[in-house]
Homo-oligomer: A and B are copies of this chain.
């Protein structure tokens, strides 16, 4: 059991290394969201391809975090709280990798939208993307600093993302009804909005893990997902 000063220090260093890898993942995910959104607005297929290719780095980092975490557990045999931190790191890496997948999905839609498509409802999406990107950055800062206050703020911002999603959903449906020729393009934008909404949900899930790890109590239960189809 790691009770000597030397071993505890080694464990802390291992944990710092894990945290650094996760922070790097967060930076990549944030950049992927912003990059995918820019590519979508500019209809820039090359920029979209760059986002798609960069996702491999996120996948590799997640595998690296898993490898590191398993090694830390095997080598340091951490107990109770320390073990929970390593497991939390493992889970958070998985969530951030999925955020990257959603950003990649957004980038993949750039190919599918014809250059001439009339996409007026696009105007709300960039702001929604900005807020979800902020949530990703904030929640990983909260994780690194073990800051339950900031985790709470992330959870609160998710309401704004849900409101954006509801608004975009309604706007796009009306748009489709008025211009049947835009249905294909509008459908892709609907999935883009849904992907952003899921990123916001995942950031909130991480916020809940960070809050619980820091305080031992759960953030108040909220209904997830801002889909007007729900409830």
Contacts and interface: CB of A to CB of B under 8 A. Distances in A.
Interface of A: 66, 69-70, 73-74, 77, 79-80, 83-84, 87, 90-91, 94, 105, 108-109, 111-112, 173, 176-177, 180-181, 183-184, 187-188, 190-191, 194, 225, 227-231
Contacts of A74: 79-80, 83
Interface SS of chain A: helix
Contacts of A183: 173, 176-177, 183
Contact of A111 (B79, B83, B111, B229): B229
B228 A112 contact: yes
B87 A70 contact: yes
Contacts of A230: 105, 108-109, 111-112
A95 to B, nearest CB: 9
Nearest to A192: B229
Contacts of A227: 105, 108, 191
A49 to B, nearest CB: 10
Contact of A176 (B111, B180, B225): B180
A193 to B, nearest CB: 11
25 contacts: A69-B87, A70-B83, A70-B84, A70-B87, A73-B73, A74-B80, A74-B83, A90-B90, A91-B94, A105-B225, A105-B227, A108-B229, A109-B229, A109-B230, A111-B231, A112-B229, A173-B183, A173-B184, A176-B176, A176-B183, A176-B187, A177-B180, A180-B180, A187-B190, A191-B229
Contacts of A228: 112
Contacts of A80: 74
A187 to B, nearest CB: 6
A94 B66 CA distance: 15
Nearest to A82: B74
